[in-house]
A = this chain, B = another copy of it.
Amino acid sequence: MLERKLKFEGLTFALLTISDRSYRGERDDLSGPELKVFVEKNGGRVVETAVLPDEKEAIRQKLMELCDGDESPEIVLTTGGTGLSPRDVTPEATLEVVEKEVPGLAEAMRAESLKKTPMAMLSRAVCGVRNQTLIVNLPGSRRGALENLEVVAPVLGHAVEVIRGKISDCRQSAHLHHRHQGEKKP
């Protein structure tokens, strides 16, 4: 495991804002830019941002384009479209493109948010891997998106290393992980 001074050092991200109103220019996209600031502040590199409507096919196509390209980002964060509104289809689009679901990421985000509001039960966020890219659905609200990203942030670097085959052996990585953790503790 590479030593990282910052959580996202060396990681590449694409950020997708999914919102009909932002797509039509009826509302500023607040979550996307705020995620960008957070990612960059933590050493990550944002290689693409886009605003999409709440259309399953459009989301699906964009996710495939991002994950299947030669220069695919290591992580795609989506914000928006994870609720129960008839137009909310981000989880369905994500489920259609991922080859492997990673349910623990979504469970952990919901469990942590649940400590703050029971409404967290209603997030239908899905996380998974397509090709060599990890896709993480975040809620549409600025605060919700950032809070959820903070929950999974500690494991994203490790997840990417395993997905990209830089670590092939989970026992080895667990060992390194624990040493690494040990060094960081006071």
Residues of A within 8 A of B (CB): 21, 80, 83-88, 91-92, 100-108, 110-111, 114, 117-124, 129, 134, 139-141, 144, 152, 154-155, 158-159, 162-163, 165, 167-171, 174, 177
Contacts and interface: CB of A to CB of B under 8 A. Distances in A.
A71 to B, nearest CB: 19
A165 B104 contact: no
A129 to B, nearest CB: 6
Given A111-B111, A169-B21, A104 B120 contact: yes
B121 A174 contact: no
CB-based closest 7 A-B pairs = A104-B121, A84-B162, A118-B154, A104-B110, A108-B121, A84-B163, A83-B170
B140 A170 contact: yes
Contact of A141 (B140, B154, B170): B170
B117 A111 contact: no
Given A123-B104, A155-B119, A163 B86 contact: yes
Given A107-B110, A110-B104, A110-B107, A122 B159 contact: yes
